[in-house]
Amino acid sequence: MLNCAGFLYSNHALRAMITRFIRSSEVEEVLIHGERIKDYPADKPYPSCLLLKFVNGRPLHVVVSQNADTGECIVITCYEPDPNVWRNLILKKKYYIYDVCNL
C-alpha cells in the first residue's frame, strides 16, 4: 500500500494495460490497497516494489516506484501473475496462500 500524491504511467505500463485488458482503476486499486510482496531498492531513478491485490476476482501485480520529491507513484508495469511462477504466494507474515488451482 502506498500513499500516492498522483499517478503516472510509463509507456510500458500503458501498453501492458491495453494488451492485458487492465483498467487504470484496477491498477490504482492495487496501488492504494495492495500488499507489498517484493522490494527493489537498487532500482533507478527511484526504488520500486511489487504489489499484489485481487481486483474483480483476479490477481494483479503492479511494479511501482515513488518520486521522493513529489510523492507521485510511477507505474512501471502491471500484469496477472503467471500461475506457474506464482503458484503459492506468501504475503508478509500473514501467510495468506494463493493457490491458483482453486480459482
Domain range annotation of the chain: 6-102
User: Residue 99: what pLDDT?
Assistant: 44
6-102 in CATH: which number?
A: 3.30.2310
For the segment 32-68, what is each residue's pLDDT rounded down to a tens digit?
A: 999 998 999 999 999 999 999 999 889 999 999 999 9
> Could you tell me the pTM of the whole model?
0.81
User: Residue 82: what pLDDT?
Assistant: 79
Tell me the pLDDT of the chain averaged across its residues.
85
- Going through the chain in order, the beta strands assigned E by DSSP cover 6-9, 35-40, 48-55, 58-66, 72-79
With a CB cutoff of 8 Å and minimum separation 6, the contacts of 71 are 3, 4, 5, 6
Residue scoring higher pLDDT (92 or 82): 82
